């Protein structure tokens, strides 16, 4: 299990931007993030700004970010904006692909409890405080319990909690804040064909980042004019594992399907 868990931690850290996960709280809310970043769940949808204008937004964390080529923004401000915009959208779907060939589709929503599912690779479902992983051999769902004497339930609980913590909006904000400064490189086409938008604002950090003991390099994020993810990629290295992860956002704000493991 050690090698698989090390690799999982690497992938999760790379996906700190928006792994499609969130907290198990009844409702998203503002709370201190690791490293001092904050997020909040302001109601409504972020309004796109005009060219080279600050956004007129219902998510206040994004109001001071000017979208213009060559501009810069602090990691704390960008992280708070991205996480708050994600929570305000309420739901989303994205595809996660890794350099060793794995691919997963992740769906998430607040209903009002946080719910998410990941299909392909290691299947995971989280519903509020509960979470499950699917046994790859039997197809059965294993409910996670980190305090269980059953090693399968304990491992499932470890995976579920890693996914839950890494995808919490506060963790997303803290991951982005790990870089002091991000540069707005340009507004242009994203390098995939089926993302939620074919264009986005490209942000890149000033240099390598350290998150959860993982060194992140070659980190690039494309955002819509309303600060939601379009595409992201980065390479993470830790514990002898190096993984490049590509994250394509397919939907924001629409209905999503989350399976119920307790119904089989």
Sign of CA dihedral 39, 45, 49, 55: negative
pTM for the structure as a whole: 0.78
- According to the model, what pLDDT value does residue 100 have? 82
Closest CA to 168 of 97, 47, 83: 83
- According to the model, what pLDDT value does residue 167 have? 66
- According to the model, what pLDDT value does residue 38 have? 32
Work out the burial of residue 201: count CB atoms within 10 Å of its CB; fewer than 13 is exposed, 13-18 middle, 19 or more buried.
buried
**Degrees, nearest 5: CA angle 169-207-39:** 15
- According to the model, what pLDDT value does residue 213 have? 82
- According to the model, what pLDDT value does residue 118 have? 86
- According to the model, what pLDDT value does residue 113 have? 78
- According to the model, what pLDDT value does residue 74 have? 96
- According to the model, what pLDDT value does residue 164 have? 81
| Cis peptide bond N-terminal to 112, omega within 30 | yes
- According to the model, what pLDDT value does residue 197 have? 96
Residues in the chain with pLDDT values less than 50: 1-6, 16-57
């Amino acid at each position: 299990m050690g090698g698989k868990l090390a690799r999982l931690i690497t992938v999760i850290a790379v996906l700190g931007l928006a792994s499609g996960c969130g907290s198990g709280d009844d409702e998203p809310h503002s709370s201190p993030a690791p490293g001092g970043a904050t997020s909040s769940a302001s109601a409504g949808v972020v309004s796109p700004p005009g060219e080279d204008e600050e956004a007129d937004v219902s998510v206040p964390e994004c109001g001071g970010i000017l979208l213009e080529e060559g501009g810069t923004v602090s990691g704390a401000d960008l992280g708070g904006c991205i996480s708050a915009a994600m929570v305000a959208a309420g739901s989303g779907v994205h595809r996660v692909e890794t350099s060793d060939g794995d691919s997963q589709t992740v769906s998430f929503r607040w209903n009002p409890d946080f719910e998410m599912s990941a299909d392909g690779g290691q299947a995971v479902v989280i519903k509020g405080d509960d979470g499950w992983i699917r046994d790859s051999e039997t197809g059965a769902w294993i409910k996670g319990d980190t305090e269980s004497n059953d090693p399968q339930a304990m491992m499932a609980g470890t995976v579920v909690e890693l996914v839950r913590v890494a995808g919490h909006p506060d963790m997303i904000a803290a991951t982005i804040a790990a870089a002091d400064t991000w540069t707005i490189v340009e507004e242009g086409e994203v390098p995939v064909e089926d993302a939620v938008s074919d264009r986005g604002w490209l942000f890149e950090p000033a240099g390598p980042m350290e998150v959860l003991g993982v060194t992140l390099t070659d980190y690039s994020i494309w955002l819509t004019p309303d600060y939601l993810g379009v595409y992201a990629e980065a390479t993470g290295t830790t514990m002898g594992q190096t993984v490049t992860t590509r994250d394509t956002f397919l939907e924001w704000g629409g209905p999503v399907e989350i399976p119920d493991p307790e119904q089989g």
